[in-house]
Amino acid sequence: MHPIVSLAEVGIVSPMLVSMNSAAWTRINAGKVHFEEELTETGKRMLRVTPESDLGELYALEDYDAFKEMGVCKPITHHDNIAVVLRERYQTLNLI
C-alpha cells in the first residue's frame, strides 16, 4: 500500500499535497527556472513560473500523475488558487 493511501485510515481524506523536485533549489540557483511577478486577487505578490511548462523543474510531476491515477489526493502547485480549490471541495462535500 502506498503511504498516501494510509492517510485515509487515520481520517485524512483527499489531502492537498505538494511534491517538490529534489533538484528544485539547484535549478532555481542556476537560473534554469524563470519567474514572473504577479499580484493575487487579494493583492499579495506571487512568483509565477514562466513558461508554465517549466513547472516540472520545481515539482515532481511524475508523483502528481501517480497521485491523480490513484485518486487519493489533490496535487497542487503554487500556481493553484487554494481559495478556489477549498471552495470546490466544500461544495462537493455540501459543507457550504
d(CA 96, CA 91): 6
Cell numbers given for 69: 491515477
Q: Are 34 and 50 in contact (CB under 8 A)?
A: yes
Threshold 0.85, pTM exceeds:
no
pLDDT tens for each residue of 72-86? 788 889 888 888 888
Contacts of 57 (CB under 8 A, 6+ apart): 21, 24, 27, 32, 33, 49
75 alpha-carbon distance from chain centroid: 5
Is pLDDT at 14 greater than 80 in this prediction?
Answer: no
Q: How many residues does the chain have?
A: 96
pLDDT tens for each residue of 25-65? 999 999 999 999 999 888 889 899 999 999 999 999 998 88
Cell numbers given for 76: 497542487
Q: Is 8 helix (H, G, I), strand (E, B) or coil?
A: helix
Bridge partners, 16 (sequence order): 74
